[in-house]
Chain A
Amino acid sequence: MDLSTSYLGLALPNPLVASASPLSNSVDGVQRLADAGVGAVVLYSLFEEQVRREAAEDARLAEAGTEIFSEALSYFPAEAEEEAAQEGAADEPTPRGYLSLLERAAAAVEIPVIGSINGVTPGGWTSYARAMQDAGAAAIELNIYYIPGDPRIPGRDVEQRHVDILSRVKDAVTVPVAVKLSPHFSSTGEMALRLDEAGADGLVLFNRFLQPDIDPESMAVVPAVDLSSPREGRLPRTWISILRPHVRGSLAGTTGVDEPSDVIKYLLAGADVVMTASALLRHGPGHAAVLLDGLSEWMDRKGYKSVSELRGLLAVDGADQAGSERAGYVRAMRYANLSRAPW
């Protein structure tokens, strides 16, 4: 049984990729994922905003109480960073913790380790990408989590922002770059194609917006993080099946993976790899083996010898896209009408 696949030009032993999650917060965690058999690991996302906020916070705490009392003009040893800053070299906070994890994780496992960035500034995206490449990242995933909170921002600007980030990072690194994007574009397909044309080595569909909730008791906005459910896989699968014939780069399906069948469905829709965080968080890293065994068992049952044979079998035919879409819609509506009570 040949489960091997190619993603972003990287050879993977199988199409199951552990996506960014707390499981990859430590070298041990990455090691556990690799031991469980995943084909690649995407490290947790490095949030530029958080790096900056923490650096600023630490700088403030280090400075608190300094230059007040003559016996204690400071309370902490001067840091290497500070020295570099004096020389005018380092003017940005460095995410050393992340880079060190990346470096050690990449050295510890055989499978590719992919760095994930959620930037805010142009300099942040590129400098982090370069630093990740230097630390041994096999590829970079751009986790463009961007909510245009200002309701007057034109859609075109939002799209251009994605393309710009990608182009800048592509210019800055030589390792492959994937873009993880959201489904919320007027024309998600066109957005995907633009990114493909701009040089994305792969697209990861889709980012899940972590929408805050409201607690009526405390009357406060509270963070709400839910693991994804299998039904959420339909949206990315739809787009993967539409995009498959049109994009040059890799396609990764993420969201809604819980059972082997979810993996299989993604592959049939045309995904090169299938990513999951929820399943591994819910069932533990060892669940990767369950998913892969299920895939093998199904392939065996269906007579497939390799993943490439089945990939994209149910992708939308590029020639009659509109017809297919309409047909899909009509079928879905009919099904909905049949299965629901008329109230």
Chain B
Amino acid sequence: MTRVTIDGNEAAASVAYRLNEVCCIFPITPSSPMAELADEWSSKGRPNLLGSVPAVMEMQSEGGAAGALHGALQSGALSTTFTASQGLLLMIPNMYKIAGELTPCVMHVAARSLAAQGLSIFGDHSDVMAVRQTGFALLASASVQEAHDLALVAQAATLATRVPFVHFFDGFRTSHELNTIELLSDDDLRALVPEELIRAHRGRALTPEHPFIRGTAQNPDVYFQARETANPFYAAVPAAVEDAMAALADRTGRRYHTVQYTGHPEADRVVVVMGSAAETVEETVAYLCGRGERVGVLQVRLFRPFPVRALLDALPASASRIAVLDRTKEPGSNGEPLFLDVVAALAEAHTDGEREAMPLVTGGRYGLSSKEVTPAMIAGVFAELARERPRRRFTVGITDDVSGLSLPYDPSLDIEPADSVRAVFFGLGSDGTVGANKNTIKILGAEEKLNAQGYFVYDSKKSGSQTVSHLRFGPRPIRAPYLVEQASFVGCHHFGLLDRVDVLGRAAPGATLLLDCALAPDEVWDALPRPVQEKIVAKHVKVYAINAARIARDVGLAGRTNTILQTCFFAISGVLPRDEAIARIKTAIVKTYGRRGQEVVEKNQAGVDRALEGLHQIEVPGRATSSRELPAMVPAGAPEFVRTVTAEMMAGRGDELPVSALPVDGTYPSGTAAYEKRNISELVAEWDQDLCIQCGNCSFVCPHGVIRSTYYDESLLAGAPAEFRSAPLDARGLPDTRFTLQVYAEDCTGCELCVQACPVAAPDNPDRKAINLAPRVPLIDAARENVTFFETLPVADRSRVDFGTVRGTQFLEPLFEFSGACAGCGETPYVKLLSQLFGDRLMVANATGCSSIYGGNLPTTPWTTNAEGRGPAWSNSLFEDNAEFGLGFRLTADMHAGLARSRLTQLRDVVGAELADDILAAPQLRESELGAQHDRITELKRRLDELGGAEGPVADLRSVVDHLLRRSIWIVGGDGWAYDIGSGGLDHVLASGRDVNVLVLDTEVYSNTGGQSSKSTPLGAVAKFAAAGKTIPKKDLALQAIAYGYVYVARVAMGADPQQTLRAFREAEAYDGPSLVLAYSQCIAQGIEMRDGLAQQYRAVASGHWPLVRYDPMLRMTGDNPFMLDSPRPRIALTDYTQRELRYRSLSRTDPAEAERLGALAQEAVNQRWDTYEEMATRGAQRFPADARKER
């Protein structure tokens, strides 16, 4: 028996990998790690039980994965896939086919919410419930151990019955929970999956040796009957699953049933539940039974085929009141699926006379999108069942003040065993807290007598994010799939978090608080905010402090405090004897840091020793003594929604928001990121007005929109704060005009791109630029005042700004600001530029991915408005459909612009012929023309409002009048979308000839889901699903689009040629037809120093990897060559670019010969492509296809 501490994804993948020959995959959270593990094992040559190394095939989408899976199954391979949520939805058509053909197969699903009013990556059963009708059996695991065991049961049962299975477990809660489990051996697997069943599967495969056809088209005469042929196979499933479970129990002692009852043998109240919450209910039932209540729980593991017999047999006859909990929402239904099935089963049993009394059955929803489900909530459900008339279709875990469906409960109930140690740790994503805690779990999970559990909560930002680690250790298996509520140990790894997060909210009475802070022990107490002091006193919390940052600096580990703080946890918590714990940490350090070299190991080990010396207990007075209150989350002047809703989410109290607080249709106000001053970087940009040449480069490249420029009459400086900086405007014809470059220091991430982009250096110091990084703290008070004053200065008149130069664009207000993207993100400067150039008439269709997350993840979002309240209208539909979604914007815009023009023509004399004619004839290309048109439309609206009327052409025109201003429709997404999952749609939309603009933020890898290979990933680069180096070259999407002839195409790289980028954006937008802009975007997933991102862009271009091109069909029309090669011949070797990135370099380390081979081929490909481009750039116009569209 092997005990390991792993998460649910690994637990399931470990079995799936060993029992399959083909894995067809596509990344989707939270299932991606299963596919990644399979790919890693396969690339390392690890064999399955059949002695072969499974083939792992990444597809372009889950739809593709399901197709490939179907084909692999039909041709006889044992095949699987791993997916979740939208991915599972894309598999539905094939699922019907696979089931209809009675094909054994197990899909492993980390069950996740579906995108509805908003996307959610978190766990519930919405996705699996959406496939319950496909003919797949559904088997639910409730824990990490079950995810391991039932993966095997599912495989055994599918081969035995030929009915395909979805084996699912709760996304994040189970898929990402670390827990100590017992591993199944290969022999266990062999015992449950007999070889003859595998051979039988192969025997049913398509083969030319024994040909038959499968997949016929059937007609009314036989389709129906043929559909009914499968009934006996489904009828056999529950027994087959029970048999496999019994066989598993024989080998392991772990006994599962398809439906399992636990609780009082004569329970009057029973909760029916599926998934991880079953463990919570079970523990709560045990607690309540211990207090004399007659309650029980019916855990459903097999949901399809619904095991009616097992359910009726398991449910005690005494059960008179039943609550069925569903982790999904089916709006408009008579109840959620599990509830309806239970009711139907009981009603039939009752009407058949099998069950004397029909119990009262009520159904409720819980836990959507990983909403917590706690013993307290379950106790609330049992309490509700005890009421005379329990609420029907209730909810639990939220406050529903709209429909009144939510159940009350006492949140203070704590049923966890006293012998378990519970700890929570608050850290920042970059500080290694989570990594250290995972380490701790591995250390303690390896102890014979200990079980460990870990669950990690991350916030919604990619930079400066907070993490909360929830750890439990105990002598018994830990069955608590919910966050730690009553922690005996609380680690706060950043003193500043005390101001922002209720760190002690989860502290149990008498808990220990460990604070990492720079203060001397006798200064710590006084530095605490009053509310924190009050909690410490009220909960009798013991306080320890350590200056981990200083110790880290002293031992040479500046910024890495994780091992030091981990040591403190072991020292204080006593979970292991101190000396033993220290020895274990030191061993773990060797394992963790070994590959960084002996020195790093020694530094960390020194940190461990120093930690113990530096730990101090802080004396706690009997009462709070501080007068410092917590700072406000948002400014008092923020809009009401921001103050009452957004701020609550920011403070981590979103769970407490009632239903009524939230928008009914997913509509949220723009520009909320500006209210969240995150102060995440210790170093921020600082402007040197004396050195600055006002070129605009820094503000152009700033990924976070924190560098703003304006010019203004110097008289306006009269009321400026003392430290407000300005310089004479460096432009002719504007005397007495000042220039200010304002850094929004509180929003700066310290990424340093601005410094890298600055072209000037101080004469006496080459390292000093006109913009530099400086410590934030000394600057911050003045910076706040300066920003406030800066915002009173006039924004430059758009019609006077030179849109054609980088220098000019710095004066255009960004309407995309302060996003939570990674520091130094390569995508956001392009997005920001879009908002500056076209923001006040911009509509953005955004594919799911990084840009939809930093663009639209709550609580605060970066797309904002100008002073007039105009700005980008942004929406995200899905991952796969973005081009089509954006085309829909265009179709409406064209339709409503046409309607507006026709109504205006009709009303010409009513609204004023001159105005109408001007509007109808107005050119709308230059900013001045657009400004004039906007003014005319404003006047038209005024006149229409005067005319009034709710009906007729006036009202009709009024409803679409804004379309008279030309809209700028942009379709934005990453390479995962454009090259892979959305490729078909993108191709069709480009082919449509309609006036849409596509911006591909090309990081050459799936960034948002963690670095999986896409068809944009270059030859020789290492990525997940291409661990051995990608052996197919990057797709040339530009050439594909150019082939149409009427698509404007540009390939740009801001770091290589910002002017070309600007030009391409403007030409694309002005072109009356489809445009495609491919933008090189550096990304953390490339393994680069993000501050060198612009230099890497330059090298990408200089090496010929990313040639800058434009294809302008307008030039073809005027007889010129439309293909323009904007970058010079490659002048550095490809390796000069690639070897600066880990994605290429790591292959040189793991497989140097292959790296050399692929590197040589990649260089050849670069040379060949350059030749092709050069030839194209010298062709005559007539050698490119003509635009055949009639109207533009």
- Measured CB to CB, the residues of A under 8 A from B are 26-27, 52, 55-56, 58-83, 85-86, 88, 90-93, 96-97, 99-101, 104, 121, 123, 218
Contact B1146 A71 (CB under 8 A): no
Please tell me if B248 contacts chain A, counting CB pairs below 8 Å: no
Contact A70 B29 (CB under 8 A): yes
Please tell me if B577 contacts chain A, counting CB pairs below 8 Å: no
| 12 CB-based A-B contacts, threshold 8 Å | A61-B1142, A63-B435, A65-B822, A67-B429, A70-B172, A72-B1007, A72-B1085, A74-B1011, A75-B1011, A80-B44, A88-B587, A100-B1153
Scoring B residues 293 to 323 as 1 if CB is less than 8 Å from chain A, else 0, what string do you get? 0000000000000000000000000000000
Contact A75 B590 (CB under 8 A): no
Q: Nearest-CB distance from B39 to chain A (Å)?
A: 7
List the 8 shortest-distance A-B pairs measured between CB atoms, nearest first.
A68-B429, A91-B594, A72-B1010, A100-B1152, A75-B1011, A77-B1027, A67-B434, A65-B1084
Neighbouring A residues of B435 by C-beta, 8 Å: 63, 66-67
Q: Nearest-CB distance from A101 to chain B (Å)?
A: 7
Contact B591 A52 (CB under 8 A): no
- Output the residue of B172, B457, B1151 with the most chain A CB within 10 A: B1151
Please tell me if B597 contacts chain A, counting CB pairs below 8 Å: yes
With A69-B465, A91-B590 known as contacts, the answer to whether A61 contacts B1150 (CB < 8 A) is: no
Contact B1024 A101 (CB under 8 A): no
Contact B1011 A69 (CB under 8 A): no
Q: Nearest-CB distance from A239 to chain B (Å)?
A: 35
Which residues between 1051 and 1109 of chain B lie within 8 Å of chain A, taking CB atoms?
1084-1085, 1087-1090
Neighbouring A residues of B587 by C-beta, 8 Å: 88
Given contacts A92-B598, A96-B1149, 16 further A-B contacts (CB under 8 A): A58-B1145, A62-B1087, A62-B1146, A65-B1085, A66-B435, A70-B30, A71-B1008, A72-B1011, A73-B1010, A76-B1142, A76-B1143, A77-B39, A83-B44, A96-B1151, A100-B1153, A123-B598
CA distance A69 to B853 in the complex (A): 11
With A77-B1022, A218-B766 known as contacts, the answer to whether A68 contacts B1149 (CB < 8 A) is: no
Please tell me if B458 contacts chain A, counting CB pairs below 8 Å: yes
CA distance A266 to B590 in the complex (A): 49
With A76-B1022, A76-B1146 known as contacts, the answer to whether A92 contacts B594 (CB < 8 A) is: yes
Which B residue's beta carbon lies closest to that of A51? B597
Q: Nearest-CB distance from A109 to chain B (Å)?
A: 16
Q: Nearest-CB distance from A127 to chain B (Å)?
A: 11
Which B residue's beta carbon lies closest to that of A71? B29
Contact B462 A68 (CB under 8 A): yes
Contact B595 A90 (CB under 8 A): yes
Contact B590 A88 (CB under 8 A): yes
Please tell me if B957 contacts chain A, counting CB pairs below 8 Å: no
CA distance A86 to B592 in the complex (A): 7
Contact A86 B591 (CB under 8 A): yes
Neighbouring B residues of A104 by C-beta, 8 Å: 1153
Q: How many A-B residue pairs have CB under 8 A?
A: 151
Contact B430 A68 (CB under 8 A): yes
CA distance A63 to B1087 in the complex (A): 9
Task: Out of B434, B595, B1143, name the residue touching A82 (CB < 8 Å).
Answer: B595
Neighbouring B residues of A92 by C-beta, 8 Å: 594-595, 597-598
Scoring B residues 564 to 601 as 1 if CB is less than 8 Å from chain A, else 0, what string do you get? 00000000000000000000000100111011111111
Q: Nearest-CB distance from B456 to chain A (Å)?
A: 8
Contact A55 B597 (CB under 8 A): yes
Which A residue's beta carbon lies closest to that of B1089? A61
Task: Out of A66, A77, A81, A93, name the residue touching B1024 (CB < 8 Å).
Answer: A77
Q: Nearest-CB distance from B785 to chain A (Å)?
A: 32
Q: Nearest-CB distance from A69 to chain B (Å)?
A: 5
Task: Out of A55, A64, A70, name the residue touching B595 (CB < 8 Å).
Answer: A55
Contact A70 B430 (CB under 8 A): no
Which residues between 120 and 179 of chain B lie within 8 Å of chain A, taking CB atoms?
121, 172, 176
With A68-B462, A68-B465, A100-B1153 known as contacts, the answer to whether A58 contacts B591 (CB < 8 A) is: no
Neighbouring B residues of A97 by C-beta, 8 Å: 1148-1149, 1152, 1155
Please tell me if B36 contacts chain A, counting CB pairs below 8 Å: yes
Please tell me if B40 contacts chain A, counting CB pairs below 8 Å: yes
Q: Nearest-CB distance from B787 to chain A (Å)?
A: 27
Task: Out of A65, A69, A73, A90, name the residue touching B594 (CB < 8 Å).
Answer: A90
- Output the residue of B430, B596, B1145, B1155 with the most chain A CB within 10 A: B596
Contact B597 A71 (CB under 8 A): no
Contact A58 B1149 (CB under 8 A): yes
Task: Out of B36, B462, B465, name the residue touching A77 (CB < 8 Å).
Answer: B36
Q: Nearest-CB distance from B42 to chain A (Å)?
A: 11
Please tell me if B467 contacts chain A, counting CB pairs below 8 Å: yes
Contact A79 B591 (CB under 8 A): no
Q: Nearest-CB distance from A59 to chain B (Å)?
A: 5
Neighbouring A residues of B43 by C-beta, 8 Å: 77
Contact A72 B600 (CB under 8 A): no
Please tell me if B1023 contacts chain A, counting CB pairs below 8 Å: yes
Contact A93 B1008 (CB under 8 A): no
CA distance A101 to B597 in the complex (A): 22
Neighbouring A residues of B176 by C-beta, 8 Å: 70
Contact A76 B1024 (CB under 8 A): yes
Please tell me if B905 contacts chain A, counting CB pairs below 8 Å: no
Please tell me if B929 contacts chain A, counting CB pairs below 8 Å: no
CA distance A71 to B1088 in the complex (A): 20
Please tell me if B414 contacts chain A, counting CB pairs below 8 Å: no
- Output the residue of B590, B597, B600, B1022 with the most chain A CB within 10 A: B597
Which B residue's beta carbon lies closest to that of A219? B766
CA distance A80 to B1027 in the complex (A): 10
Neighbouring A residues of B434 by C-beta, 8 Å: 67
- Output the residue of A83, A91, A93 with the most chain B CB within 10 A: A91
Neighbouring A residues of B399 by C-beta, 8 Å: none
Please tell me if B1009 contacts chain A, counting CB pairs below 8 Å: yes
Neighbouring A residues of B597 by C-beta, 8 Å: 52, 55-56, 92-93
Please tell me if B945 contacts chain A, counting CB pairs below 8 Å: no
Q: Nearest-CB distance from B770 to chain A (Å)?
A: 19
Neighbouring A residues of B592 by C-beta, 8 Å: 85
Q: Nearest-CB distance from B460 to chain A (Å)?
A: 8
Task: Out of A26, A77, A101, A123, name the residue touching B1023 (CB < 8 Å).
Answer: A77
- Output the residue of A68, A82, A83 with the most chain B CB within 10 A: A68
Q: Nearest-CB distance from A79 to chain B (Å)?
A: 6
Contact B1010 A71 (CB under 8 A): yes
Task: Out of B457, B766, B1009, B1084, name the residue touching A64 (CB < 8 Å).
Answer: B1084
Task: Out of A26, A56, A75, A123, name the residue touching B1010 (CB < 8 Å).
Answer: A75
Task: Out of B121, B432, B1085, B1152, name the residue touching A101 (CB < 8 Å).
Answer: B1152
- Output the residue of B40, B121, B457 with the most chain A CB within 10 A: B40
Neighbouring B residues of A74 by C-beta, 8 Å: 1010-1011
Contact B458 A56 (CB under 8 A): no
CA distance A90 to B1150 in the complex (A): 14
CA distance A93 to B30 in the complex (A): 32
- Output the residue of B33, B457, B1022, B1087 with the most chain A CB within 10 A: B1087
Neighbouring A residues of B822 by C-beta, 8 Å: 65
Please tell me if B917 contacts chain A, counting CB pairs below 8 Å: no
- Output the residue of B44, B594, B1155 with the most chain A CB within 10 A: B594
With A73-B1010, A92-B594 known as contacts, the answer to whether A79 contacts B1146 (CB < 8 A) is: yes
Please tell me if B613 contacts chain A, counting CB pairs below 8 Å: no
Neighbouring A residues of B600 by C-beta, 8 Å: 56
Task: Out of B44, B456, B601, B1087, name the residue touching A61 (CB < 8 Å).
Answer: B1087
Contact B121 A69 (CB under 8 A): no
Neighbouring B residues of A72 by C-beta, 8 Å: 1007-1011, 1085
With A58-B1149, A96-B1149, A97-B1152 known as contacts, the answer to whether A71 contacts B1087 (CB < 8 A) is: no
Q: Nearest-CB distance from A97 to chain B (Å)?
A: 4
Scoring B residues 429 to 468 as 1 if CB is less than 8 Å from chain A, else 0, what string do you get? 1101011000000000000000000001110011101010
Which A residue's beta carbon lies closest to that of B1145? A58
Neighbouring B residues of A64 by C-beta, 8 Å: 1084, 1087, 1090
Q: Nearest-CB distance from A163 to chain B (Å)?
A: 23
